[in-house]
Amino acid sequence: MVQVQLLFHESRSDLELSNATPTQLLMLHYIHYLLISKEKRERKDRERKKVRRDGRKKKRRSLESHVSLQWRRVDITSSDTT
C-alpha cells in the first residue's frame, strides 16, 4: 500500500487514495508492478552488456588508467625502435 501511495504521489493525479475504488487501487498497483519490472529488465540488460562472451565480467577502467596504458604502450614501441 505504501508503494502505491508513492507512485500515486509522483503521478500528481487528482484521484485521492481515500476515495479510490478497489479497481483504481488495483490499476495503480499494476502500473507500479510494470514500472518495477521495466527497471529490473533494464538493470539486467546493463549487467549483461558488462559480461564478456567468455563469461568474465569486463573490468571497469577509469580514463586515467586507459591513458596511462596507452602511454606505456607508446613508450615500449619507441624504445624498441631505437
Each residue's pLDDT tens digit, 17-67: 667 778 877 887 888 788 888 888 888 888 877 776 666 666 665 544 444
pLDDT band (50, 70, 90) for residue 74: very low
Structural domains of the chain, count: 1
pLDDT band (50, 70, 90) for residue 4: very low
Domain that holds residue 25: 1-52
Give Dmax over CA atoms of the chain in angstroms. Answer: 83
pLDDT for 28 equals 79
Global model pTM greater than 0.85: no
Query: Does some domain include residue 76?
Result: no
Classify residue 72 as exposed, middle or buried by CB count within 10 Å of its CB (0-12, 13-18, 19+): exposed
